[in-house]
Amino acid sequence: DTGVSQNPRHKITKRGQNVTFRCDPISEHNRLYWYRQTLGQGPEFLTYFQNEAQLEKSRLLSDRFSAERPKGSFSTLEIQRTEQGDSAMYLCASSLMGLMNTEAFFGQGTRLTVV
Amino acid sequence: KQEVTQIPAALSVPEGENLVLNCSFTDSAIYNLQWFRQDPGKGLTSLLLIQSSQREQTSGRLNASLDKSSGRSTLYIAASQPGDSATYLCAVLRGSARQLTFGSGTQLTVLP
């Protein structure tokens, strides 16, 4: 499978616990994005990497959230001290930077439920 | 700030009908527009990408158009099938931004 891969697919955690999600982008893609989607809404941008550099962060990304992309390959998104409001689908996407911005491909997402 | 609106929010049609989904955006300075399909509880599948210099793209029974000046895009689905039932999302990439801005989607149900 050469698409964007996300793990785990589902995560149930107790409030206050830390969780970490992983995203493996399409191998030649140098751009990687994290989005969050709640029920009935479109995805909202969280953060963006170009290679290993985190170039942009949304105001939605509070200080409890941290994302990394070591060596410009896979990425992790960690949420510390989870709250019930963090329950959502977390989506990762990748694309290839070119002369014109190119098509973004999404993974299957990680569904987080905070109880 | 870019805002993307999709109308209608939900649509139910009988099998075989041709249909149009609408997407409007407030800032016409876009690089491209993408249409996605999302099945319940799943990720997004890219359907069509229209660059800002293009007016339409076609893939099978799908045709997407783009009118930058009026801030509108439409997704035309011909001869709809029950398997087309899903939520359809449009997203724009602004020239000044690096991320996609999404609409809330149109939930399509095609009745057998």
Mutate to test the interface with A, among B88, B100, B101, B104 (most CBs of A within 10 A): B100
pLDDT score, position A26: 94
Query: What φ, ψ does residue A86 adopt, rounded to 5°?
Result: -80, -10
pLDDT score, position B58: 96
| pLDDT per position as a tens digit, B79-94 | 999 999 999 999 998 7
Residue of B nearest to A89 (CA): B41
* Strand intervals (E) in A8-69: 10-13, 19-24, 31-37, 44-50, 53-57, 65-68
Say whether residue A106 is in contact with chain B using an 8 A CB cutoff. yes
Closest CB to A103: pick one of B42, B46, B102: B46
Instruction: State how far Cα B22 lies from the chain centre.
Output: 7
User: Which pLDDT band holds residue A108 (cuts at 50, 70, 90)?
Assistant: very high
Residue B98 has pLDDT above 80, yes or no: no
Average pLDDT of every residue of chain A: 92
Mutate to test the interface with B, among A44, A106, A108, A110 (most CBs of B within 10 A): A106
| pLDDT per position as a tens digit, A57-88 | 988 888 999 999 998 899 999 999 999 999 99
Test B99 with A40 for CB contact under 8 angstroms: no
Kindly report the nearest CA distance between residue A16 and chain B, in angstroms. 25
User: In one letter, which amino acid is A82?
Assistant: T
Q: Which residues contact A53 (CB under 8 A, 6 or more apart)?
A: none
A25/A69 Cα distance (integer angstroms): 11
Residue B34 with chain A: CB contacts under 8 Å = 103-104
A113/A9 Cα distance (integer angstroms): 11
User: Which pLDDT band holds residue A39 (cuts at 50, 70, 90)?
Assistant: very high
Test A100 with B32 for CB contact under 8 angstroms: yes
pLDDT score, position B96: 59
Residue A42 has pLDDT above 80, yes or no: yes
Question: How many of the other CB atoms lie within 10 Å of CB of B105?
Answer: 24
Say whether residue B13 is in contact with chain A using an 8 A CB cutoff. no
A52/A50 Cα distance (integer angstroms): 6
The mean pLDDT of B36-56, rounded to a whole number, is 94
pLDDT score, position A99: 56
Question: How many of the other CB atoms lie within 10 Å of CB of B25?
Answer: 24
Asked if omega into B112 is within 30° of 0 (cis), the reply is no
| pLDDT per position as a tens digit, B12-43 | 999 999 999 999 999 888 889 999 999 998 99
Interface of A with B in 21-50 (CB under 8 A): 31, 33, 40-45, 48, 50
